[in-house]
Chain A
Amino acid sequence: MIEFRGVTKQFPDGTVAVSDVDIVIPPHETTVLVGSSGSGKTTLLRMINRMVDPTGGQVLIDGTDVATVDPVKLRRGIGYVMQNSGLLPHRKVIDNVATVPLLRGESKRAAHARALELLDTVGLDRSLADKYPSQLSGGQQQRVGVARGLAVDPNILLMDEPFGAVDPIVRAELQQELLRLQGELGKTVVFVTHDIDEAFLLGDQVVIMQQGGRISQAASPAEILANPADSFVADFVGADRGKRALHVREVDGRRIVVDADGRPAGVLTS
Protein backbone atom coordinates (compact mmCIF):
# COMPACT_ATOMS: atom_id res chain seq x y z
CA MET A 1 0.00 0.00 0.00
CA ILE A 2 1.19 3.47 -0.87
CA GLU A 3 -0.05 6.39 1.12
CA PHE A 4 0.29 10.13 0.54
CA ARG A 5 -0.21 12.20 3.68
CA GLY A 6 -0.63 15.94 3.21
CA VAL A 7 1.94 15.91 0.42
CA THR A 8 2.97 19.21 -1.13
CA LYS A 9 5.65 19.98 -3.68
CA GLN A 10 6.73 23.53 -4.31
CA PHE A 11 9.62 24.05 -6.71
CA PRO A 12 12.32 26.64 -5.93
CA ASP A 13 10.81 29.03 -8.48
CA GLY A 14 7.57 29.06 -6.47
CA THR A 15 5.49 26.80 -8.70
CA VAL A 16 3.27 24.51 -6.69
CA ALA A 17 3.17 21.17 -8.50
CA VAL A 18 1.34 19.18 -5.84
CA SER A 19 -0.83 20.73 -3.18
CA ASP A 20 -1.74 18.99 0.08
CA VAL A 21 -2.53 15.57 -1.38
CA ASP A 22 -3.95 12.79 0.77
CA ILE A 23 -4.55 9.53 -0.98
CA VAL A 24 -4.26 5.82 -0.42
CA ILE A 25 -3.17 3.58 -3.26
CA PRO A 26 -4.38 0.07 -2.48
CA PRO A 27 -2.13 -2.93 -3.15
CA HIS A 28 -2.51 -5.34 -6.11
CA GLU A 29 -4.70 -2.90 -8.00
CA THR A 30 -4.17 -0.35 -10.72
CA THR A 31 -4.49 3.28 -9.72
CA VAL A 32 -4.47 5.76 -12.58
CA LEU A 33 -3.49 9.39 -12.03
CA VAL A 34 -5.12 11.42 -14.76
CA GLY A 35 -5.12 15.10 -15.53
CA SER A 36 -3.99 17.63 -18.09
CA SER A 37 -0.39 18.80 -18.20
CA GLY A 38 0.53 20.88 -15.17
CA SER A 39 -1.77 18.93 -12.87
CA GLY A 40 1.16 17.41 -10.99
CA LYS A 41 0.37 13.80 -11.81
CA THR A 42 3.92 12.90 -12.87
CA THR A 43 5.38 14.75 -9.89
CA LEU A 44 3.09 12.75 -7.61
CA LEU A 45 4.24 9.50 -9.25
CA ARG A 46 7.90 10.44 -8.94
CA MET A 47 7.57 11.06 -5.23
CA ILE A 48 6.96 7.35 -4.75
CA ASN A 49 10.50 6.42 -5.85
CA ARG A 50 12.07 9.70 -4.67
CA MET A 51 12.83 11.05 -8.10
CA VAL A 52 11.15 14.08 -6.50
CA ASP A 53 11.13 14.74 -2.76
CA PRO A 54 8.07 16.48 -1.32
CA THR A 55 8.48 19.85 0.38
CA GLY A 56 5.72 18.95 2.82
CA GLY A 57 3.98 15.82 4.05
CA GLN A 58 4.95 12.18 3.79
CA VAL A 59 4.86 9.37 1.27
CA LEU A 60 4.65 5.93 2.85
CA ILE A 61 5.10 2.49 1.36
CA ASP A 62 3.67 -0.22 3.61
CA GLY A 63 3.93 2.20 6.51
CA THR A 64 7.56 3.24 5.91
CA ASP A 65 8.27 6.86 5.06
CA VAL A 66 10.24 6.73 1.79
CA ALA A 67 12.29 9.73 2.96
CA THR A 68 14.04 7.35 5.37
CA VAL A 69 15.06 4.93 2.61
CA ASP A 70 18.17 5.35 0.46
CA PRO A 71 16.83 6.53 -2.92
CA VAL A 72 19.02 4.27 -5.04
CA LYS A 73 18.07 1.19 -3.04
CA LEU A 74 14.41 2.23 -3.07
CA ARG A 75 14.37 2.62 -6.87
CA ARG A 76 15.98 -0.76 -7.43
CA GLY A 77 12.97 -2.33 -5.71
CA ILE A 78 10.30 -0.47 -7.70
CA GLY A 79 9.54 -1.08 -11.36
CA TYR A 80 9.54 2.00 -13.56
CA VAL A 81 8.25 2.31 -17.11
CA MET A 82 8.29 5.62 -18.93
CA GLN A 83 7.26 7.24 -22.17
CA ASN A 84 9.54 6.53 -25.15
CA SER A 85 10.55 3.40 -23.24
CA GLY A 86 13.62 5.07 -21.67
CA LEU A 87 15.72 2.12 -22.77
CA LEU A 88 19.49 2.48 -22.80
CA PRO A 89 20.29 2.79 -26.52
CA HIS A 90 23.81 1.39 -26.14
CA ARG A 91 22.75 -1.87 -24.57
CA LYS A 92 21.10 -4.86 -26.18
CA VAL A 93 17.49 -5.69 -25.37
CA ILE A 94 18.49 -8.51 -23.03
CA ASP A 95 20.97 -6.30 -21.16
CA ASN A 96 18.35 -3.60 -20.84
CA VAL A 97 15.90 -6.03 -19.26
CA ALA A 98 18.63 -7.43 -17.00
CA THR A 99 19.93 -3.98 -15.93
CA VAL A 100 18.34 -3.76 -12.51
CA PRO A 101 19.05 -7.35 -11.40
CA LEU A 102 22.68 -6.77 -12.41
CA LEU A 103 22.76 -3.49 -10.47
CA ARG A 104 21.47 -5.45 -7.49
CA GLY A 105 24.40 -7.82 -7.83
CA GLU A 106 22.75 -10.86 -9.38
CA SER A 107 24.90 -13.08 -11.55
CA LYS A 108 24.84 -12.33 -15.26
CA ARG A 109 23.70 -15.86 -16.04
CA ALA A 110 20.69 -15.70 -13.71
CA ALA A 111 19.78 -12.17 -14.80
CA HIS A 112 19.90 -13.10 -18.49
CA ALA A 113 17.87 -16.27 -17.99
CA ARG A 114 15.21 -14.26 -16.20
CA ALA A 115 15.33 -11.56 -18.87
CA LEU A 116 14.55 -14.13 -21.57
CA GLU A 117 11.55 -15.37 -19.58
CA LEU A 118 10.35 -11.79 -19.22
CA LEU A 119 10.49 -11.32 -22.99
CA ASP A 120 8.02 -14.22 -23.20
CA THR A 121 5.90 -12.64 -20.48
CA VAL A 122 5.50 -9.37 -22.38
CA GLY A 123 4.89 -11.17 -25.68
CA LEU A 124 8.19 -10.55 -27.42
CA ASP A 125 10.11 -13.08 -29.47
CA ARG A 126 13.37 -14.20 -27.85
CA SER A 127 15.15 -13.55 -31.14
CA LEU A 128 14.96 -9.84 -30.31
CA ALA A 129 17.20 -10.31 -27.25
CA ASP A 130 20.38 -9.47 -29.14
CA LYS A 131 19.03 -6.43 -30.94
CA TYR A 132 19.60 -2.85 -29.90
CA PRO A 133 16.53 -0.77 -28.95
CA SER A 134 16.82 1.37 -32.10
CA GLN A 135 16.27 -1.76 -34.18
CA LEU A 136 12.82 -2.30 -32.63
CA SER A 137 9.46 -0.69 -33.38
CA GLY A 138 7.96 1.75 -30.86
CA GLY A 139 5.53 -0.87 -29.57
CA GLN A 140 8.27 -3.45 -29.14
CA GLN A 141 10.46 -0.95 -27.28
CA GLN A 142 7.59 -0.23 -24.92
CA ARG A 143 7.17 -3.95 -24.23
CA VAL A 144 10.87 -4.19 -23.45
CA GLY A 145 10.37 -1.24 -21.09
CA VAL A 146 7.62 -3.17 -19.29
CA ALA A 147 9.82 -6.28 -19.12
CA ARG A 148 12.60 -4.19 -17.58
CA GLY A 149 10.14 -2.78 -15.06
CA LEU A 150 9.19 -6.30 -14.02
CA ALA A 151 12.75 -7.65 -13.90
CA VAL A 152 13.18 -7.67 -10.14
CA ASP A 153 9.60 -8.86 -9.59
CA PRO A 154 8.73 -5.64 -7.74
CA ASN A 155 5.54 -5.20 -5.72
CA ILE A 156 5.10 -1.75 -7.18
CA LEU A 157 5.16 -0.79 -10.84
CA LEU A 158 5.21 2.91 -11.73
CA MET A 159 4.16 3.75 -15.26
CA ASP A 160 4.61 7.32 -16.50
CA GLU A 161 2.53 7.77 -19.67
CA PRO A 162 4.07 4.56 -21.01
CA PHE A 163 1.88 4.35 -24.08
CA GLY A 164 1.84 8.06 -24.90
CA ALA A 165 4.20 7.89 -27.85
CA VAL A 166 2.88 4.93 -29.84
CA ASP A 167 0.18 4.94 -32.50
CA PRO A 168 -3.43 4.23 -31.49
CA ILE A 169 -3.52 0.65 -32.75
CA VAL A 170 -0.35 -0.40 -30.96
CA ARG A 171 -1.52 1.56 -27.95
CA ALA A 172 -4.79 -0.39 -27.73
CA GLU A 173 -2.78 -3.61 -28.05
CA LEU A 174 -0.42 -2.60 -25.25
CA GLN A 175 -3.33 -1.61 -23.02
CA GLN A 176 -4.91 -5.04 -23.46
CA GLU A 177 -1.54 -6.63 -22.81
CA LEU A 178 -1.17 -4.67 -19.58
CA LEU A 179 -4.67 -5.75 -18.46
CA ARG A 180 -3.73 -9.38 -19.16
CA LEU A 181 -0.40 -9.04 -17.33
CA GLN A 182 -1.99 -7.31 -14.37
CA GLY A 183 -4.60 -10.09 -14.19
CA GLU A 184 -1.74 -12.59 -13.89
CA LEU A 185 0.68 -10.64 -11.70
CA GLY A 186 -1.50 -8.45 -9.48
CA LYS A 187 1.09 -5.72 -8.95
CA THR A 188 0.40 -2.41 -7.29
CA VAL A 189 0.39 -0.35 -10.46
CA VAL A 190 0.44 3.44 -10.44
CA PHE A 191 -0.20 4.68 -13.95
CA VAL A 192 -0.04 8.27 -15.19
CA THR A 193 -1.92 9.40 -18.27
CA HIS A 194 -3.72 12.44 -19.66
CA ASP A 195 -6.17 10.23 -21.53
CA ILE A 196 -9.39 9.70 -19.59
CA ASP A 197 -10.38 6.73 -21.78
CA GLU A 198 -7.11 5.02 -20.95
CA ALA A 199 -7.67 5.81 -17.26
CA PHE A 200 -11.16 4.29 -17.26
CA LEU A 201 -9.97 1.23 -19.18
CA LEU A 202 -7.01 0.41 -16.94
CA GLY A 203 -7.85 1.84 -13.55
CA ASP A 204 -9.47 0.09 -10.61
CA GLN A 205 -9.14 3.47 -8.98
CA VAL A 206 -8.96 6.66 -11.01
CA VAL A 207 -7.55 9.82 -9.46
CA ILE A 208 -8.54 12.96 -11.32
CA MET A 209 -6.16 15.86 -10.78
CA GLN A 210 -6.51 19.50 -11.71
CA GLN A 211 -4.18 22.46 -12.14
CA GLY A 212 -2.01 23.18 -9.12
CA GLY A 213 -1.77 19.54 -8.15
CA ARG A 214 -5.03 19.10 -6.29
CA ILE A 215 -7.13 15.96 -6.37
CA SER A 216 -10.65 16.53 -7.63
CA GLN A 217 -11.89 12.99 -7.19
CA ALA A 218 -10.52 9.55 -6.49
CA ALA A 219 -12.91 6.68 -7.10
CA SER A 220 -13.71 3.79 -9.40
CA PRO A 221 -14.56 4.69 -13.01
CA ALA A 222 -18.22 3.75 -12.47
CA GLU A 223 -18.44 5.90 -9.37
CA ILE A 224 -16.89 8.86 -11.15
CA LEU A 225 -19.31 8.60 -14.06
CA ALA A 226 -22.27 8.14 -11.73
CA ASN A 227 -21.34 10.86 -9.26
CA PRO A 228 -18.79 13.32 -10.57
CA ALA A 229 -17.53 15.29 -7.56
CA ASP A 230 -17.82 18.67 -9.22
CA SER A 231 -18.29 20.38 -12.55
CA PHE A 232 -14.55 20.09 -13.32
CA VAL A 233 -14.71 16.31 -13.08
CA ALA A 234 -17.97 16.11 -15.01
CA ASP A 235 -16.44 18.24 -17.71
CA PHE A 236 -13.12 16.36 -17.72
CA VAL A 237 -14.69 12.93 -18.10
CA GLY A 238 -17.19 14.32 -20.57
CA ALA A 239 -20.06 12.75 -18.66
CA ASP A 240 -22.76 14.78 -20.30
CA ARG A 241 -21.51 15.09 -23.84
CA GLY A 242 -19.95 13.29 -26.78
CA LYS A 243 -19.54 9.57 -26.64
CA ARG A 244 -20.25 9.28 -22.94
CA ALA A 245 -23.66 10.98 -23.06
CA LEU A 246 -25.45 7.81 -24.09
CA HIS A 247 -29.15 7.42 -24.39
CA VAL A 248 -31.48 4.68 -25.49
CA ARG A 249 -33.48 4.69 -28.70
CA GLU A 250 -35.90 2.06 -29.94
CA VAL A 251 -35.14 0.64 -33.38
CA ASP A 252 -37.27 -2.18 -34.76
CA GLY A 253 -38.22 -3.24 -31.26
CA ARG A 254 -34.63 -3.44 -29.96
CA ARG A 255 -33.14 -0.88 -27.64
CA ILE A 256 -30.09 0.71 -29.22
CA VAL A 257 -27.69 2.89 -27.23
CA VAL A 258 -26.58 6.01 -29.08
CA ASP A 259 -24.18 8.81 -28.14
CA ALA A 260 -24.78 12.56 -28.15
CA ASP A 261 -24.11 12.76 -31.87
CA GLY A 262 -26.66 10.03 -32.58
CA ARG A 263 -24.01 7.45 -33.43
CA PRO A 264 -24.93 3.91 -32.31
CA ALA A 265 -22.66 2.70 -29.49
CA GLY A 266 -24.26 -0.68 -28.77
CA VAL A 267 -27.38 -2.65 -27.96
CA LEU A 268 -29.07 -3.00 -24.59
CA THR A 269 -29.57 -6.71 -24.01
CA SER A 270 -31.29 -6.77 -20.65
Chain B
Amino acid sequence: MNWLWSNLDRVGELVVVHLALSVPAIILSFVLSVPLGWIAHRHRWSRGILLSIVGLLYAIPSLALFIALPAATGLSLRSPVNLVIALTLYGIAVLVRTATDAFDAVERDIRQSATAIGYSAAGRFWGVELPLAGPVLLSGLRVVIVSTVSLATVGAVIGVQSLGSLFTDGFQRGIQVEIITGIVATILLALLLDWIAVLLGRLLMPWTRTSRLRRAAPVEVAVGAEGS
Protein backbone atom coordinates (compact mmCIF):
# COMPACT_ATOMS: atom_id res chain seq x y z
CA MET B 1 0.00 0.00 0.00
CA ASN B 2 2.95 2.28 0.69
CA TRP B 3 3.79 2.07 -3.00
CA LEU B 4 0.38 3.50 -3.93
CA TRP B 5 0.63 6.48 -1.55
CA SER B 6 4.08 7.43 -2.67
CA ASN B 7 3.19 6.99 -6.37
CA LEU B 8 -0.23 8.62 -6.39
CA ASP B 9 1.02 11.40 -8.67
CA ARG B 10 2.37 8.88 -11.14
CA VAL B 11 -0.93 6.97 -11.18
CA GLY B 12 -2.87 10.21 -11.71
CA GLU B 13 -0.57 11.11 -14.58
CA LEU B 14 -1.09 7.71 -16.20
CA VAL B 15 -4.88 8.04 -15.83
CA VAL B 16 -4.71 11.26 -17.84
CA VAL B 17 -2.43 9.68 -20.45
CA HIS B 18 -4.74 6.68 -20.65
CA LEU B 19 -7.72 8.96 -21.22
CA ALA B 20 -5.81 10.84 -23.89
CA LEU B 21 -5.29 7.53 -25.72
CA SER B 22 -8.70 5.96 -25.36
CA VAL B 23 -11.14 8.90 -25.57
CA PRO B 24 -9.97 10.07 -29.04
CA ALA B 25 -10.06 6.46 -30.25
CA ILE B 26 -13.60 5.98 -28.91
CA ILE B 27 -14.86 9.22 -30.47
CA LEU B 28 -13.10 8.54 -33.78
CA SER B 29 -14.45 5.02 -34.08
CA PHE B 30 -17.98 6.29 -33.38
CA VAL B 31 -17.72 9.15 -35.86
CA LEU B 32 -16.34 6.85 -38.58
CA SER B 33 -18.61 3.89 -37.89
CA VAL B 34 -21.91 5.76 -38.13
CA PRO B 35 -21.48 6.76 -41.81
CA LEU B 36 -20.02 3.34 -42.67
CA GLY B 37 -22.94 1.62 -40.95
CA TRP B 38 -25.30 3.94 -42.81
CA ILE B 39 -23.76 3.00 -46.16
CA ALA B 40 -23.98 -0.70 -45.33
CA HIS B 41 -27.62 -0.21 -44.29
CA ARG B 42 -28.51 1.80 -47.37
CA HIS B 43 -26.72 -0.10 -50.15
CA ARG B 44 -27.11 -3.81 -50.39
CA TRP B 45 -23.96 -4.24 -52.50
CA SER B 46 -21.73 -2.58 -49.92
CA ARG B 47 -23.10 -4.49 -46.99
CA GLY B 48 -21.32 -7.80 -47.50
CA ILE B 49 -18.01 -6.14 -48.37
CA LEU B 50 -18.01 -3.64 -45.50
CA LEU B 51 -19.12 -6.07 -42.84
CA SER B 52 -16.56 -8.69 -43.94
CA ILE B 53 -13.74 -6.15 -43.87
CA VAL B 54 -14.58 -4.83 -40.42
CA GLY B 55 -15.10 -8.39 -39.23
CA LEU B 56 -11.55 -9.23 -40.38
CA LEU B 57 -10.15 -6.16 -38.60
CA TYR B 58 -11.05 -7.68 -35.30
CA ALA B 59 -9.19 -10.86 -36.17
CA ILE B 60 -5.82 -9.04 -36.41
CA PRO B 61 -3.79 -9.73 -33.25
CA SER B 62 -3.31 -6.47 -31.38
CA LEU B 63 0.45 -6.72 -30.89
CA ALA B 64 0.98 -7.49 -34.58
CA LEU B 65 -1.13 -4.46 -35.50
CA PHE B 66 0.76 -2.18 -33.11
CA ILE B 67 4.03 -3.25 -34.70
CA ALA B 68 2.79 -3.20 -38.30
CA LEU B 69 1.08 0.21 -38.12
CA PRO B 70 4.24 2.34 -37.80
CA ALA B 71 5.39 0.88 -41.12
CA ALA B 72 2.13 2.05 -42.71
CA THR B 73 1.95 5.48 -41.03
CA GLY B 74 5.66 6.25 -40.99
CA LEU B 75 5.44 7.26 -37.33
CA SER B 76 7.79 5.95 -34.66
CA LEU B 77 6.85 2.69 -32.95
CA ARG B 78 6.34 4.48 -29.65
CA SER B 79 4.15 7.26 -30.99
CA PRO B 80 0.80 7.32 -29.17
CA VAL B 81 -0.83 8.19 -32.51
CA ASN B 82 -0.22 4.65 -33.73
CA LEU B 83 -1.97 3.30 -30.69
CA VAL B 84 -4.94 5.64 -31.20
CA ILE B 85 -5.22 4.48 -34.82
CA ALA B 86 -5.06 0.82 -33.80
CA LEU B 87 -7.69 1.32 -31.08
CA THR B 88 -9.90 3.18 -33.55
CA LEU B 89 -9.69 0.27 -35.99
CA TYR B 90 -10.80 -2.17 -33.28
CA GLY B 91 -13.60 0.21 -32.32
CA ILE B 92 -14.76 0.34 -35.92
CA ALA B 93 -14.68 -3.44 -36.09
CA VAL B 94 -17.33 -3.57 -33.38
CA LEU B 95 -19.35 -0.47 -34.16
CA VAL B 96 -19.93 -0.68 -37.92
CA ARG B 97 -21.96 -3.83 -37.53
CA THR B 98 -23.91 -2.36 -34.63
CA ALA B 99 -24.52 0.86 -36.58
CA THR B 100 -25.80 -1.16 -39.55
CA ASP B 101 -28.19 -3.03 -37.27
CA ALA B 102 -29.19 0.23 -35.60
CA PHE B 103 -30.25 1.82 -38.89
CA ASP B 104 -31.89 -1.43 -40.04
CA ALA B 105 -33.98 -1.39 -36.88
CA VAL B 106 -35.64 1.96 -37.63
CA GLU B 107 -39.17 1.03 -38.65
CA ARG B 108 -40.00 1.27 -42.32
CA ASP B 109 -43.35 2.89 -41.53
CA ILE B 110 -41.64 5.70 -39.68
CA ARG B 111 -39.12 6.32 -42.45
CA GLN B 112 -41.91 6.37 -45.03
CA SER B 113 -44.04 8.65 -42.95
CA ALA B 114 -41.13 11.08 -42.54
CA THR B 115 -40.68 11.14 -46.31
CA ALA B 116 -44.41 11.51 -46.88
CA ILE B 117 -44.71 14.61 -44.71
CA GLY B 118 -41.82 16.31 -46.46
CA TYR B 119 -38.47 15.50 -44.87
CA SER B 120 -35.58 15.82 -47.32
CA ALA B 121 -33.12 12.92 -47.43
CA ALA B 122 -30.59 14.76 -45.26
CA GLY B 123 -33.25 16.09 -42.91
CA ARG B 124 -34.58 12.60 -42.46
CA PHE B 125 -31.15 11.23 -41.59
CA TRP B 126 -30.38 13.85 -38.94
CA GLY B 127 -33.90 14.34 -37.65
CA VAL B 128 -35.34 10.84 -37.74
CA GLU B 129 -33.02 7.97 -38.55
CA LEU B 130 -29.96 8.94 -36.51
CA PRO B 131 -31.91 9.70 -33.30
CA LEU B 132 -34.00 6.55 -33.66
CA ALA B 133 -30.86 4.48 -34.21
CA GLY B 134 -29.48 6.13 -31.06
CA PRO B 135 -30.34 3.53 -28.42
CA VAL B 136 -28.71 0.69 -30.40
CA LEU B 137 -25.72 2.89 -31.27
CA LEU B 138 -25.32 3.68 -27.59
CA SER B 139 -25.27 0.01 -26.65
CA GLY B 140 -22.50 -0.56 -29.22
CA LEU B 141 -20.62 2.49 -28.01
CA ARG B 142 -20.66 1.16 -24.45
CA VAL B 143 -19.01 -2.07 -25.59
CA VAL B 144 -16.38 -0.06 -27.45
CA ILE B 145 -15.73 2.17 -24.44
CA VAL B 146 -14.98 -0.75 -22.17
CA SER B 147 -12.96 -2.70 -24.74
CA THR B 148 -10.92 0.34 -25.82
CA VAL B 149 -10.01 1.35 -22.28
CA SER B 150 -8.94 -2.21 -21.59
CA LEU B 151 -7.11 -2.70 -24.91
CA ALA B 152 -5.15 0.55 -24.52
CA THR B 153 -3.12 -1.08 -21.75
CA VAL B 154 -1.51 -3.41 -24.31
CA GLY B 155 0.39 -0.39 -25.66
CA ALA B 156 2.65 -0.56 -22.62
CA VAL B 157 4.26 -3.68 -24.08
CA ILE B 158 5.58 -1.70 -27.06
CA GLY B 159 6.48 1.26 -24.87
CA VAL B 160 3.48 3.56 -25.18
CA GLN B 161 2.70 4.88 -21.69
CA SER B 162 -0.72 4.10 -20.21
CA LEU B 163 -2.19 2.47 -17.13
CA GLY B 164 -0.77 -0.69 -18.69
CA SER B 165 2.68 0.60 -17.77
CA LEU B 166 1.75 -0.23 -14.18
CA PHE B 167 1.43 -3.92 -15.20
CA THR B 168 4.73 -4.08 -17.07
CA ASP B 169 6.59 -2.12 -14.44
CA GLY B 170 4.96 -4.09 -11.62
CA PHE B 171 5.93 -7.39 -13.24
CA GLN B 172 9.51 -6.36 -13.84
CA ARG B 173 10.00 -5.03 -10.33
CA GLY B 174 7.79 -7.57 -8.56
CA ILE B 175 5.45 -4.98 -7.02
CA GLN B 176 2.06 -6.63 -6.69
CA VAL B 177 0.26 -3.50 -5.49
CA GLU B 178 1.35 -1.72 -8.64
CA ILE B 179 -0.20 -4.41 -10.85
CA ILE B 180 -3.44 -4.41 -8.85
CA THR B 181 -3.56 -0.62 -8.95
CA GLY B 182 -3.27 -0.79 -12.76
CA ILE B 183 -6.12 -3.29 -13.03
CA VAL B 184 -8.43 -1.43 -10.65
CA ALA B 185 -7.69 1.96 -12.20
CA THR B 186 -8.41 0.57 -15.69
CA ILE B 187 -11.72 -0.91 -14.58
CA LEU B 188 -12.75 2.27 -12.75
CA LEU B 189 -11.88 4.37 -15.79
CA ALA B 190 -13.94 2.10 -18.05
CA LEU B 191 -16.89 2.30 -15.66
CA LEU B 192 -16.61 6.08 -15.43
CA LEU B 193 -16.64 6.55 -19.21
CA ASP B 194 -19.48 4.06 -19.55
CA TRP B 195 -21.47 5.99 -16.96
CA ILE B 196 -20.86 9.26 -18.83
CA ALA B 197 -22.07 7.63 -22.05
CA VAL B 198 -25.27 6.41 -20.39
CA LEU B 199 -25.85 9.86 -18.90
CA LEU B 200 -25.32 11.53 -22.28
CA GLY B 201 -27.71 9.02 -23.82
CA ARG B 202 -30.42 9.96 -21.31
CA LEU B 203 -29.91 13.64 -22.01
CA LEU B 204 -29.93 13.28 -25.79
CA MET B 205 -32.67 10.63 -25.99
CA PRO B 206 -35.27 11.59 -23.39
CA TRP B 207 -37.97 9.55 -25.11
CA THR B 208 -36.27 6.28 -24.22
CA ARG B 209 -37.06 6.90 -20.58
CA THR B 210 -40.79 6.87 -21.25
CA SER B 211 -40.80 3.29 -22.52
CA ARG B 212 -40.59 2.19 -18.92
CA LEU B 213 -43.55 4.40 -18.07
CA ARG B 214 -45.52 2.92 -20.91
CA ARG B 215 -46.33 -0.27 -19.09
CA ALA B 216 -47.46 1.54 -15.99
CA ALA B 217 -49.62 4.27 -17.44
CA PRO B 218 -51.45 3.37 -20.65
CA VAL B 219 -54.88 2.44 -19.29
CA GLU B 220 -55.17 5.63 -17.33
CA VAL B 221 -54.01 7.79 -20.22
CA ALA B 222 -56.27 5.99 -22.68
CA VAL B 223 -59.37 6.62 -20.59
CA GLY B 224 -58.32 10.24 -20.09
CA ALA B 225 -59.02 11.54 -23.56
CA GLU B 226 -60.54 8.84 -25.73
CA GLY B 227 -64.03 9.80 -24.64
CA SER B 228 -63.61 13.47 -25.44
User: A80 to nearest B CB, angstroms?
Assistant: 4
Please report the total number of B residues contacting A with Cβ < 8 Å. 30
- Chain B residues 113 to 145 lying within 8 A of chain A, measured CB to CB, are 113-120, 123, 128, 131-132, 134
Partner of B228, one of A83, A91, A125, A170: A125
What separation, in Å, do the CA atoms of A27 and B218 have in the docked complex?
39
- Say whether B211 faces chain A, with CB atoms less than 8 Å apart: yes
Nearest chain-A residue to B217 (Cβ)?
Answer: A135
- Say whether B8 faces chain A, with CB atoms less than 8 Å apart: no
Known contacts: A88-B110, A125-B228, A134-B214. The answer to whether A51 contacts B116 by CB under 8 A is yes
- Chain A residues 77 to 95 lying within 8 A of chain B, measured CB to CB, are 80, 82-84, 86-91
What A residues does B131 contact at CB under 8 A? 90
Partner of A103, one of B119, B134, B211, B218: B119
Nearest chain-B residue to A148 (Cβ)?
Answer: B117
Q: Is A75 a contact partner of B115 (Cβ separation < 8 A)?
A: yes
Partner of A80, one of B113, B120, B128: B113
Q: Is A89 a contact partner of B132 (Cβ separation < 8 A)?
A: yes
Q: Is A75 a contact partner of B210 (Cβ separation < 8 A)?
A: no
How many contacts between A and B, using CB within 8 angstroms? 94
- Say whether A132 faces chain B, with CB atoms less than 8 Å apart: yes
What separation, in Å, do the CA atoms of A255 and B120 have in the docked complex?
60
Write out, one digit per residue, whether chain A residues 122-144 have a CB within 8 A of any chain B CB (1) or not (0): 01110110011011110110000
Please report the total number of A residues contacting B with Cβ < 8 Å. 38
Nearest chain-B residue to A139 (Cβ)?
Answer: B226
Partner of A140, one of B112, B205, B214, B222: B222
What separation, in Å, do the CA atoms of A123 and B117 have in the docked complex?
22
Write out, one digit per residue, whether chain B residues 200-218 have a CB within 8 A of any chain A CB (1) or not (0): 0000010100110110011
- Chain B residues 166 to 212 lying within 8 A of chain A, measured CB to CB, are 205, 207, 210-211
- Say whether B74 faces chain A, with CB atoms less than 8 Å apart: no
User: A200 to nearest B CB, angstroms?
Assistant: 25
What separation, in Å, do the CA atoms of A212 and B110 have in the docked complex?
27
Q: Is A80 a contact partner of B228 (Cβ separation < 8 A)?
A: no
Partner of A170, one of B118, B119, B218, B226: B226
Q: Is B222 a contact partner of A137 (Cβ separation < 8 A)?
A: yes
24 A-B pairs whose Cβ atoms sit less than 8 Å apart in the complex: A51-B115, A75-B115, A75-B117, A82-B109, A86-B109, A86-B112, A88-B110, A88-B128, A88-B132, A90-B134, A99-B117, A103-B117, A103-B118, A128-B221, A128-B224, A132-B207, A132-B210, A134-B214, A135-B210, A136-B221, A137-B222, A139-B222, A148-B117, A158-B116
8 interchain residue pairs of minimum CB distance: A86-B113, A76-B118, A137-B222, A75-B118, A80-B116, A125-B225, A90-B207, A132-B210
- Beyond contacts A125-B228, A136-B222: 6 other A-B pairs, Cβ-Cβ < 8 A, are A82-B113, A82-B116, A89-B207, A104-B118, A123-B228, A132-B210
Residues of chain A touching chain B, judged by Cβ–Cβ distance below 8 Å, are: 46, 49, 51, 72-73, 75-76, 80, 82-84, 86-91, 99-100, 103-104, 123-125, 127-128, 131-132, 134-137, 139-140, 148, 158, 170, 173
Residues of chain B touching chain A, judged by Cβ–Cβ distance below 8 Å, are: 109-110, 112-120, 123, 128, 131-132, 134, 205, 207, 210-211, 213-214, 217-218, 221-222, 224-226, 228
